[in-house]
Structure 1
């Protein structure tokens, strides 16, 4: 499958409403602390917005809700992968994106038959405390050699200036959180990302 090279990650349907109409084609809804009713409402709103704007929605973690709400893409971290029912996901026709940080995690991910594999953090990141050192561009090359033809997502510390190196090293898509959401002008920054990744479409 072909993924858009710009992979936006946000924590609310409100962000999707703000940024997806600008031309975002791939977005992950990653909400950590919300009750089930709240999550369901957010997923429904995000799904409707993405359908209207021809954007692929990926739901982070909440795979049961994703099945119930008729979503078609879920992203899981390694811990969530251990508790998820892959047969149920498969039966529902849901594609799976998986996070990896080291060789053992890559083996685990590949055994699950993912639609894509994410590698991070490529550069130092302020999003969350990481026990892994920055992976760097060489690791992208190595990972791409092992996962191809499955798409490889690069994540962690990325900005428009770093994208050429990331794509030239073999990444198919670049994921971003804080470079957009903490920017003084998220709309302008989103347009910059879209423009910068245009040549890799």
Structure 2
């Protein structure tokens, strides 16, 4: 009974003192440090003309970010997101302008940077391919888990039905073996088209 009382007192003390009992990887504190991210949908950001005190600062321009843009963001006390991107000058000249996204407190407009993030996906006209490189693999998704080693398929014809481009610039084809059950994603440089 005494142990239960001590446990209850400690638990209530932790709650009252505001000490977190769990830490989220995407908490406000985690986002207060700059993070490299990829924009997932077209988003409007605003240019801020800073004035002291901060509450007198005002927006002086807007710009659009597009799906696939790589930026750096972090939370601040005054704005939902501070945005840094190549080509968007921060702090140039006498007035130290900066860019923000105050339209959302959520992170649904970005995803953490990943070189295999899919920028676009589209269907292909059905075509046959054979391996070009015997050391290559077929993956579960572009840059994902290895499924089939192409050295085991020397004469297999593969039917390509779809293609995707990822952040690092590579284009992958979704292929199925013509007379089997093997299927997955292969980098297009590892196969060649046949009739």
Fold similarity call, TM over 0.5: no
Q: TM-score, normalised on structure 2?
A: 0.19
Q: Which has the higher strand share?
A: 2
Q: Which has the higher helix share?
A: 1
Higher relative contact order (CA 8 A, sep 6+): 1
Q: State the structure with more CA Rg.
A: 2
